[in-house]
Structure 1
Amino acid sequence: MTPGPDLQQLIDTIRADAGTDDILDQLGTAASTISELTSTSDAALGYFVDRARGAGKSWVEISTVLGVSKQAAHKRFAESWTSRPAFEHYTPRTRAVVEAATDVARGLNHSYVGTEHLLLAFYTQPEALATKVLVAHGVTEQAVSEAVNAAVPAGEGPVNEEELGFTRRASHVLQGAAGEALALGHNYVGTEHLLLAFYRDQAGVATTVLQGLGLDESAAWAAIRAVLNELEKAK
């Protein structure tokens, strides 16, 4: 296993980052550095827990590996996505997509917010990287809308606002987006990460729709990497 920095290395790094001998400035730098390290460590661990869950591993198996109780593991890693630190790293466009998903669900008279609503919400942000990738591959808003309506017809009557909430699958995608960002070495969660997270659940409506329209996981990965590489070259 590759060793992490020892205590002295960490202290030296913090002092260098502080750029001053003032003890309070160094303390402030230490606090922000440790907070960032903790957040990154939690995200990394959450990424692999998420992968284990996606592979069908039980909370009993996961908790045994982590050396904690099943209840402790479940409480730490299965909590609502809105309370996870990763949401703080969502870009404005990604947040806008998440918020728009509720409006999409309401417009279809659905009493829940599922992966299909998140997918349709991409089109409210035409300049988002994920949306551009979808359109470039022929996955248009009309095509997605027709496929979603065929899979999950619109409901009847008005929706009870108090019932609107993210499904387990949608929450899994929202959590998984942070893991996809981590896998790409990004310190933000963009729409591209949200798109890739759909493929973590092969039974989700969004994944079924995407694959049915010809955009499987490997194609999505290749397209997103190509766009990111072009953006990097343009810097």
Structure 2
Amino acid sequence: MFERFTVQARDVVRGAVAARERLGHRNVGTEHLLLALLDAERSSVAGLLNQAGVDAARVTEAIDRKIGRGTDELGDRDAEALRSIGIDLAAVRSKLEESFGEGALEPPPARSARRGIFGGWDLSSRFSSRAKKVLELALREAVQLRHREIGAEHILLGLLREGNGLAALVLTEAGLDLAELRRRTLDSLRRAA
């Protein structure tokens, strides 16, 4: 499927991975795809979303409100519970890094053995089931429209069609009508054809 992605659509997928990393989240979700679509350098649909009143700052703010930023650290309550039974996390981390080297506790980056159009990223392990569904629906949208390639617009259509992820929630809470945004996106595709 990914061989049918345009350069711009591939950039959106890469941008979603970068957004996930920037926010410290474990998996790429629909919200990260939306942030990548809003990146003006990566996406032709950024203007369409901006016209509808959506920008990356507002989406990031909404994501922070809904799910926060990721962290590798335990929460304060977990750390306190461990301290109460005599376990000092800082001392444990220090001892492990002393024995195995700095960064020994960091997970290795998920890379596939085969280098492909996404630079060897193992998308199956990095993407949430909803984000994978959005990409699958992007393919279905392109097929339904009889387009040979999958572009950023198709990813937006897939995101809107999936309709249940955090991205859809953020868009509807911002006052957008997903059906209207879908219509505008289809109109934009028709004008470009």
TM score, norm. by length of structure 1? 0.57
Aligned-partner Cα distance in 2 for 1:160–1:136 = 40
SS at match of 2:150: coil
Map 1:1-235; keep pairs closer than 5 Å.
86-126=1-41, 128-157=43-72, 160-162=107-109, 165-232=126-193
TM-superposed CA distance for 1:142, in Å, is: 1.2
Superposed CA RMSD in Å reads 2.0
Task: Note the alpha carbon deviations across 1:114-170, whole angstroms, 9 max, x for none.
Answer: 111111112334463321210111111111111111111001248745466101111
Do the aligned residues in 1 keep the contact of 2:137 with 2:162 (CA within 8 Å)?
no
TM-superposed CA distance for 1:201, in Å, is: 2.8
> Gapped runs of 5+ residues in structure 2?
74-105, 111-124
Aligned equivalent of 1:55? none
Aligned-partner Cα distance in 1 for 2:5–2:146 = 15
Distance 1:201 1:221, change over 3 A: closer
Do the aligned residues in 2 keep the contact of 1:199 with 1:207 (CA within 8 Å)?
yes
Paired residues, number: 147
Higher RCO (CA-CA < 8 Å; seq separation 6+)? 2
Aligned-partner Cα distance in 2 for 1:113–1:207 = 15
Do the aligned residues in 2 keep the contact of 1:91 with 1:190 (CA within 8 Å)?
yes
Of residues 159-168 and 220-229 in structure 1, the stretch that sits farther from structure 2 once superposed is: 159-168
Give percent identity, aligned residues only.
33
Task: Considering fraction of residues, name the structure with more helix.
Answer: 1
Aligned-partner Cα distance in 2 for 1:105–1:127 = 16
Task: Note the alpha carbon deviations across 1:68-88, whole angstroms, 9 max, x for none.
Answer: xxxxxxxxxxxxxxxxxx211
Aligned-partner Cα distance in 1 for 2:176–2:148 = 26
Distance 1:131 1:118, change over 3 A: same
Aligned-partner Cα distance in 1 for 2:29–2:108 = 15
Do the aligned residues in 1 keep the contact of 2:44 with 2:152 (CA within 8 Å)?
yes
Do the aligned residues in 1 keep the contact of 2:27 with 2:127 (CA within 8 Å)?
yes
Letter of the 2:2 partner, please give it: F
SS at match of 2:18: helix
Do the aligned residues in 2 keep the contact of 1:126 with 1:132 (CA within 8 Å)?
no
Aligned-partner Cα distance in 1 for 2:186–2:161 = 18
TM-superposed CA distance for 1:207, in Å, is: 1.0
Task: Note the alpha carbon deviations across 1:88-128, whole angstroms, 9 max, x for none.
Answer: 11110110110111111111111111111111112334463
TM score, norm. by length of structure 2? 0.69
Aligned-partner Cα distance in 2 for 1:178–1:204 = 18
Aligned-partner Cα distance in 1 for 2:47–2:184 = 10
Letter of the 2:38 partner, please give it: Y
